[in-house]
């Protein structure tokens, strides 16, 4: 059993060592990155950091492990996929940081992180992800967060 965080308050993946079989659930998906969002129940959370820390728990598993994800087809190449997921989040964080050279709200970060049009359902997940990436950079001390007179937080590069 491997517990992880970031996608949900707590997530369990199941690993059978002898069979080299991992039921990864939503923590390691074959083609997409799992949703990692800040939710209203934990408004000061840092789920991107929690997710990246959780991915480290899978690095000790055999690379030829058969991964059974909750979305997509089973796959092998766990370590390659973990590297891709880490690279994906590093790239998103770099884009968000660059965009925050001028103060930005989470809504203003959406087109930076998501290039395609979003429907209403996707928008709620995307907004949670935007806040999560802003929070990671804020917790790392590279962004500052200020509450505007309009009651909306804006993030900018820390001085």
Name all domains of the chain by residue range, CATH numbers in brackets. Answer: 2-157 (1.10.10.10)
At a CB cut-off of 8 Å and minimum separation 6, what does 131 contact? 37, 38, 106
157 DSSP β-pair partners: 143
Query: By three-state DSSP, how is residue 151 classified?
Result: coil
Cα-based angle 4, 26, 131 (whole degrees, multiple of 5): 75
CA dist 129 and 101 (Å) reads: 19
User: pLDDT by residue (tens digit) across 149-159?
Assistant: 999 999 999 98
Buried/exposed code over 23-43 (b: 16+ C-beta within 10 A; e: otherwise):
bbbbbbbbeeebbbbbeeeee
Indicate the pairing of strand 66-69 with strand 21-25: parallel
- Confidence check: pLDDT of 5 > 90: no
Average pLDDT, integer, range 89-101: 97
pLDDT attached to residue 32 = 87
Question: Residue 5 corresponds to which tokens in the numbers above?
Answer: 């965080």
Over the stretch 127-141, which tens digit does the pLDDT of each residue have?
999 999 999 999 999
pLDDT tens-digit map of 98-125: 999 999 999 999 999 999 999 999 999 9
Q: What is the mean pLDDT of residues 59-73?
A: 94
- Computed on alpha carbons and rounded to an integer, the radius of gyration of the chain in Å comes to 17
Residue 33 has pLDDT above 80, yes or no: yes
- Specify the pTM: 0.92
pLDDT 10s digits, 37-54 = 999 889 999 999 999 999
């Amino acid at each position: 059993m491997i517990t992880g965080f970031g996608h949900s308050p707590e997530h369990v993946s199941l690993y059978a060592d002898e069979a080299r079989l991992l039921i990864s659930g939503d923590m390691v998906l074959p083609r997409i990155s799992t949703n990692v969002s800040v939710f209203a129940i934990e408004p000061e959370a840092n789920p991107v950091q929690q997710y990246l820390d959780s991915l480290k728990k899978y690095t000790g598993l055999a690379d030829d492990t058969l991964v059974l994800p909750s979305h997509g087809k089973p796959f092998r190449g766990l370590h390659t996929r973990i590297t891709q997921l880490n690279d994906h989040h590093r790239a998103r964080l770099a884009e968000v940081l660059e965009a925050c050279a001028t103060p930005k709200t989470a809504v203003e970060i959406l087109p930076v992180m998501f290039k395609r049009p979003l429907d209403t359902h996707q928008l709620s997940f995307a907004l949670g992800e935007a806040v999560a990436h802003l929070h990671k950079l804020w917790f790392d001390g590279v962004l500052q967060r200020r509450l505007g007179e309009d009651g909306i937080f804006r993030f900018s590069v820390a001085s």
